[in-house]
Amino acid sequence: MTQNDTHVSTAFSAPSVDAAFAKSALGTKLREVLAGGKGNNALIADYLLRNPVRATACSIDELAQHTQTSAPTLSRFARTMGYSGFAALRSGMAESLQTALQPVDKLRDVLQRNGAVSAPYGNPIIAESLDSSLHHLQATVAGLNPALLTATAHKILAAETVYTLGFGISAHLAAILALNLQPFCRQTINVVEYGGTEVAAGRLMNIGPKDLLVSISFPRYASDAVMLTRFARGQCAHVIALTDSMASPLTQWAHDVLIAPAAHPVLSGSYAPALLLIEALTTSLMVNGKDQVKQAQKLTEAISAYLYSDKPNAT
């Protein structure tokens, strides 16, 4: 590999890692410190956000030189961030980076374990992926609580406005859920559509005690999803989290939690169980509400003119 090849590889890989680290829990704290003002803490936070990988390999003296601070200052900074010292902070950064790089590491591991097979059929990696997805679908079905689904459906139907929220791929799950809920709810708002977090926050600003939010997030969790979920809870809205584990950061702000396992041998997460859970929730809502057949008929009438038919139009 030439020096130029190395440069190109670094230029394309480093920014994505930096961005993923910045969205981690530790990265979020560092961004808060950076936004909080000037001084040594801001200098250190800025360097760590811009150079997370390099920082994990630095000694305290080396990092002090890079940040133009001192070893005692770095130790105080680490304690300010909630760590016992610089070594613990550096370990925390390494753990955050491991989470950010996990999809890459998993892909590398399975390729090394199974061999890079060129043929798409019979590839052991694909077989492992399918087995994993099927296992999680079965686990989701086995873990479904019909009583909880029914209770959740009644809460959704009783809400004045139902908001759905998700970022990244979860935004598409939120959109699917919103479309499924729309015919049967008084009002449905999909919070994240276009315009970024500022616009999403604007759509959520009027949420209140009579409303309900379904917040969706899977690894790698979006910090904005957690922030807006916390806001909705603070506004006394009922919050339902659709996520992969009780360890998810959404759960601390949710009244109800629906679990869809998301671990995957290659991808950052599997979304098939989440779709299954959305379908189950929609089905429960349809069979538990009032006048749902009438609502379904109204929906069919509204869209029938736009559906394809091979029958010739009457003249």
What confidence score (pLDDT) does residue 242 get?
93
| Gap between the Cα atoms of 160 and 147, Å rounded | 22
Same domain, 142 and 240: yes
By 3-state DSSP, what share of the chain in percent is helix, strand and coil, each rounded to 5?
Answer: 65, 5, 30
Of the three residues 48, 81, 102, the one that is the final residue of a domain is: 102
What confidence score (pLDDT) does residue 314 get?
52
State both tokens at 106. Answer: 């998993």
Asked if residue 285 lies in contact with residue 153, where contact means CB atoms within 8 angstroms, the answer is: yes
Same domain, 35 and 153: no
- CA dihedral sign, ordered 97, 101, 103, 108: negative
Q: How many structural domains does the chain have?
A: 2
Same domain, 278 and 225: yes
State both tokens at 39. Answer: 């001084």
| Gap between the Cα atoms of 95 and 222, Å rounded | 17
Asked if residue 222 lies in contact with residue 269, where contact means CB atoms within 8 angstroms, the answer is: no
The CA distances from residue 209 to 236, 239, 240, 275, in Å, are: 5, 10, 14, 28
Same domain, 269 and 214: yes
Average pLDDT, the chain: 81
> Which ranges of 115-220 does DSSP label H, i.e. alpha helix?
124-143, 146-158, 169-181, 196-204
How many CB atoms neighbour CB 136 within 10 A? Answer: 22
In a domain, 240, yes or no: yes
Question: Of 155-169, 253-267, 285-299, which range is least confident?
Answer: 285-299
Same domain, 139 and 53: no
192: containing domain: 134-304
For 79-112, the pLDDT digits (tens) are 999 999 999 999 988 888 776 666 555 555 655 5
pLDDT at 190 over 90: yes
Asked if residue 253 lies in contact with residue 241, where contact means CB atoms within 8 angstroms, the answer is: yes
In a domain, 10, yes or no: yes
pLDDT at 311 over 90: no
In a domain, 120, yes or no: no
Please tell me which residue, 144 or 37, carries the higher pLDDT value. 144
Of the three residues 102, 120, 144, the one that is the final residue of a domain is: 102
| Gap between the Cα atoms of 178 and 189, Å rounded | 7
Same domain, 170 and 296: yes
Per-residue pLDDT, averaged over 154-163, amounts to: 95
Rg of the chain on CA atoms, in Å: 24
Find residue 214's DSSP bridge partners.
Answer: 164, 240
| Gap between the Cα atoms of 147 and 145, Å rounded | 5
What's the CATH code of the domain at 95?
A: 1.10.10.10
Please tell me which residue, 297 or 60, carries the higher pLDDT value. 60
In a domain, 125, yes or no: no
Same domain, 205 and 300: yes
